A = this chain, B = another copy of it.
């Protein structure tokens, strides 16, 4: 290890991972804006603006909407521990590491959790949830809108219907989808929805925006027992994020500045514009990969998460070596598979500020060069050509560019 007292010089990376995404220069600027106190009247008014922008991105009018002072996994914990009380039963749809994490976190409350599973690379069948919940009192049904570990998107609406039948609260993990994939909390009647700062919003990691429906906010207020976590107690945290602005804990103020700027950028482009950009850039990426003879892990195009693409590592290719060369020779970071998918897939994120046409071409060019070195049979240039051929007209406004 070098001397830890040395000045820090982080490298400049192109992050094409499932988070963190690259930041707009505007967001870097916001991070370094003058720090103020957490009950400074300027700040307590500013908080209201951040909450309002979050409501627009979640497409909700929910009063209880704010960024939790934690990572996306903290969002999972806040969602489940606030809803569950001793003796409760709940269902979690598990089709990968992050939906599995929701089940594990819920199990730590002592509640009885049923996992309804799907094979990796698929979404859970709502029919299976209907069957599992039949005749039982189910407190909540939880699912990951985008399962980042496999690159699968879940259609939320059928689960809302099942929740209505079961009288259950619907909890949706939108960590990998908010601002990148169509999602409308009020219209889709999602009771609790949370996300992560560092994905399609392209703020730095460290905050988890969350929103809770009025009905469930009421339910939380009428709990018989205290929430087991003080830090993640949504009702008392709202003493600070609600009207009173009464101190609860000190939030990470520079990250709130950065989130404000990142949300402004998202909303300047518009949600529909952002969704379309994510869709188009993934389409270009897939066209390039397919032209290079590289297959996708998620077979059914309807199941594919637009923000994170899971790619089968071609036979005979050393996946870890490719990732390592991408990093060291091109300063591009991608991710590998987690758990049983380790060594089997790459995961490429095109999210937020990272979702730009040029990044698709750069990635395909670097990948081609490395695969040719690994003696994979492919015609030089076909990937980039196929990707570029999908581009129509002017670039969709890349997040924050040209402003």
Distance in Å: Cβ of A20 to nearest Cβ of chain B = 6
Q: At the interface, yes or no: A264 with Cβ under 8 Å from chain B?
A: yes
Q: At the interface, yes or no: A224 with Cβ under 8 Å from chain B?
A: no
Q: Which of B31, B48, B261, B335 contacts A1 (CB 8 A)?
A: B48
* Contact (Cβ within 8 A) B205 A253: yes
Residue of B nearest to A86 (CB): B110
In chain A between 1 and 42, which residues have their CB closer than 8 angstroms to a CB of chain B?
1-8, 10-13, 15, 17, 19-20, 22-23, 28-42
**Stretch of A139-147, A225-233, A369-377 with 4 or more beta carbons under 8 angstroms from chain B:** A225-233
Query: Which B residues are in CB contact (< 8 Å) with A41?
Result: 327
* Contact (Cβ within 8 A) A72 B249: yes
Given A38-B20, A45-B1, A254 and B251 contact (CB-CB distance below 8 Å): no
* Contact (Cβ within 8 A) A109 B228: yes
* Contact (Cβ within 8 A) A13 B40: yes
* Contact (Cβ within 8 A) A253 B52: no
* Contact (Cβ within 8 A) A36 B8: no
* Contact (Cβ within 8 A) B231 A70: yes
Most chain B CB within a 10 A radius of its CB, from A23, A40, A48: A40
Q: Which of B29, B35, B338 contacts A204 (CB 8 A)?
A: B35
The complex places the Cα of A4 from the Cα of B45 at a distance, in Å, of 10
Query: Which B residues are in CB contact (< 8 Å) with A204?
Result: 35, 252-254
Query: Which B residues are in CB contact (< 8 Å) with A72?
Result: 249-250
**Stretch of A87-95, A100-108, A286-294, A298-306 with 4 or more beta carbons under 8 angstroms from chain B:** A100-108
Query: Which B residues are in CB contact (< 8 Å) with A338?
Result: 247
The complex places the Cα of A230 from the Cα of B261 at a distance, in Å, of 30
The complex places the Cα of A11 from the Cα of B242 at a distance, in Å, of 23
* Contact (Cβ within 8 A) A70 B69: yes
* Contact (Cβ within 8 A) A15 B35: yes
* Contact (Cβ within 8 A) A333 B249: no
Cβ contacts A to B, 5 pairs, < 8 Å:
A10-B46, A28-B32, A205-B252, A247-B338, A254-B254
| Nearest 6 Cβ contacts at the A-B interface | A206-B252, A4-B49, A32-B32, A73-B249, A71-B249, A4-B52
Given contacts A20-B35, A73-B248, A108-B229, list 15 more A-B pairs with CB under 8 A.
Answer: A1-B49, A4-B53, A10-B43, A20-B37, A23-B35, A36-B333, A69-B70, A69-B71, A69-B206, A71-B252, A74-B249, A101-B230, A108-B226, A196-B250, A255-B255
